[in-house]
């Protein structure tokens, strides 16, 4: 049976109907988006132009910064533009593209964060074997696995969304296209699709969060046998990673790991994993990392004031 699709565009209701609130949100999220781009680009360039790129932790961090830029750019520019416009419309094709890119880059980011936790586990729990376990070939393989994981996560989501029939209304109570809001406006019974989305996005977030939590608990127990200076340095690094995990996974678990319904609170929680976490990642990974700060100062000083 052909899929019934009588609409060519959707209307995004956004965060608020109040004009003053929209103008405030426009200024706020424009600043946030610029901060995301600048912060992650500074980290990315600093790592690529320094010897840190050959260290596994910073190699993974460079990929995380790239994913932060791609992930937030799949949602934020459209939202910022809509805050200035009147009717917030998005074509059917662009809506499907947004669903795919958000889950694709978001999935890669989840697996990159997991890889970074594994890297810290090996560095702290098996320091004598660190360079053997985390050799360059293994690092490339782990990053490739993260990309494959993102594809395995996102293509089923896109396929399920493509199968939905839409015959009106076409108003989505969100500021971007996501599966749960689209299920609400589909003109068919979407219970099974909703359960599949929970099993995909919800369980991926929950299982990854549990794995990360267990890995950091093991790391904390292992730190008891380290020197005071070693504990301080390891705890500083792990604290950065835990902060990222909480900012990203907490809201995403709330949104995706429950009955397939939508709520006005979903938009607020979505801001955390689409804007807040990517914005704070550069600060979290640099302010608590003396080595990274020194490299950034040296790289950017040479780039800006070199006489070459």
Render pLDDT for 244-277 as a digit per residue (tens, 0 to 9): 788 888 888 888 887 666 666 788 888 888 898 8
Q: Find the DSSP H helices in the chain.
A: 19-48, 56-73, 76-84, 92-125, 130-133, 136-162, 179-185, 191-197, 203-222, 228-256, 264-271, 277-287, 290-305
Q: Is residue 299 part of a domain?
A: no
Give the Å distances, CA to CA, from 127 to 120, 226, 239, 306: 10, 11, 19, 38
Residues linked to residue 5 through DSSP beta bridges, in sequence order: 166
Q: Number of structural domains, the chain?
A: 1
Give the Å distances, CA to CA, from 131 to 61, 139, 187: 17, 11, 55
Sheet holding 171-172, edge to edge: 89-91, 9-12, 171-172
Q: Is the pLDDT of residue 85 over 80?
A: no
Q: Is residue 302 part of a domain?
A: no
Q: Is residue 300 part of a domain?
A: no
Q: Quick check: 42 and 68 in contact, CB under 8 A? A: no
- Which pLDDT band holds residue 150 (cuts at 50, 70, 90)? very high
CATH number at residue 31: 1.20.1070.10
11 SS3 class: strand
The torsion of the CA quartet 204, 208, 211, 217, rounded to 10 degrees, works out to: -140
State pTM to two decimals. Answer: 0.88
Core vs surface per residue 18-30: b (16+ CB within 10 A) or e: eeeebeebbeebe
Give the model's pLDDT for residue 256: 83
Q: Is residue 135 part of a domain?
A: yes
Give the model's pLDDT for residue 68: 92
The owner of tokens 């046998």 is 225
Q: Is residue 295 part of a domain?
A: no
Q: Is residue 106 part of a domain?
A: yes
- Which pLDDT band holds residue 174 (cuts at 50, 70, 90)? confident
Mean pLDDT over 164-176 rounds to 85
The C-alpha angle with vertex 76 and arms to 148 and 184, in degrees rounded to 5, equals 80
- Prior bond of 169 cis (ω within 30°): yes
Phi-psi region of 81 (alpha: psi -120 to 50; beta: other; left: phi over 0): alpha
Whole-angstrom distance, CA of residue 282 vs CA of residue 34 = 12
- Which pLDDT band holds residue 216 (cuts at 50, 70, 90)? confident
Q: Is residue 87 part of a domain?
A: yes
pLDDT in tens, 16-75: 788 888 899 899 999 999 999 999 998 898 898 888 888 898 999 999 999 999 999 999
Mean pLDDT over 95-111 rounds to 92
Whole-angstrom distance, CA of residue 262 vs CA of residue 181 = 6
Whole-angstrom distance, CA of residue 90 vs CA of residue 8 = 9
Please measure the distance between the N-terminal and C-terminal CA atoms of the chain and give it in whole angstroms: 67
The CA R_g of the chain, rounded to the nearest whole Å, is: 21
Give the Å distances, CA to CA, from 167 to 89, 172, 255: 16, 13, 26
- Which pLDDT band holds residue 1 (cuts at 50, 70, 90)? very low
Domain of 52, in residue numbers: 9-285
Whole-angstrom distance, CA of residue 158 vs CA of residue 153 = 9
Q: Is residue 215 part of a domain?
A: yes
Whole-angstrom distance, CA of residue 64 vs CA of residue 100 = 19
């Amino acid at each position: 049976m052909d899929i019934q699709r009588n609409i060519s565009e959707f209307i995004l209701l956004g965060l608020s109907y109040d004009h003053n609130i929209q103008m405030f949100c426009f200024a706020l999220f424009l600043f946030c988006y610029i901060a995301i781009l600048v912060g992650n680009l500074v980290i990315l360039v600093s790592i690529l132009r320094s010897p840190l790129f050959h260290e596994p932790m910073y190699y993974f961090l460079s990929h995380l910064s790239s994913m932060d830029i791609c992930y937030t750019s799949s949602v934020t520019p459209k939202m910022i533009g809509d805050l200035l416009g009147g009717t917030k419309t998005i074509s059917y094709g662009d809506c499907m593209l947004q669903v795919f890119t958000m889950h694709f880059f978001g999935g890669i980011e989840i697996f990159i964060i997991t890889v970074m936790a594994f890297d810290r586990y090996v560095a702290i729990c098996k320091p004598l074997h660190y360079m053997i376990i985390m050799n360059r070939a293994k690092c490339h393989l782990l990053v490739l696995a993260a990309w494959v994981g993102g594809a395995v996560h996102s293509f089923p989501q896109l396929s399920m969304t493509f199968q939905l029939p839409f015959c009106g209304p076409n108003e989505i109570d969100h500021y971007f296209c996501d599966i749960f809001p689209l299920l609400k406006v589909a003109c068919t019974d979407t219970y099974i699709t909703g359960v599949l989305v929970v099993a995909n996005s919800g369980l991926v977030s929950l299982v990854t969060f549990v794995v990360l939590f267990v890995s950091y608990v093991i790391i904390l127990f292992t730190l008891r046998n380290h020197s005071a200076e070693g504990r301080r340095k390891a705890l500083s690094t792990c604290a950065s990673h835990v902060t990222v995990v909480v900012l990203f996974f907490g809201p995403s678990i709330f949104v995706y790991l429950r009955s397939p319904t939508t709520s006005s609170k979903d938009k607020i929680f979505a801001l955390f994993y689409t804007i807040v976490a990517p914005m704070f990642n550069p600060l979290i990974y640099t302010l608590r990392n003396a080595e990274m700060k020194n490299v950034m100062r040296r790289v950017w000083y040479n780039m800006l004031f070199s006489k070459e």
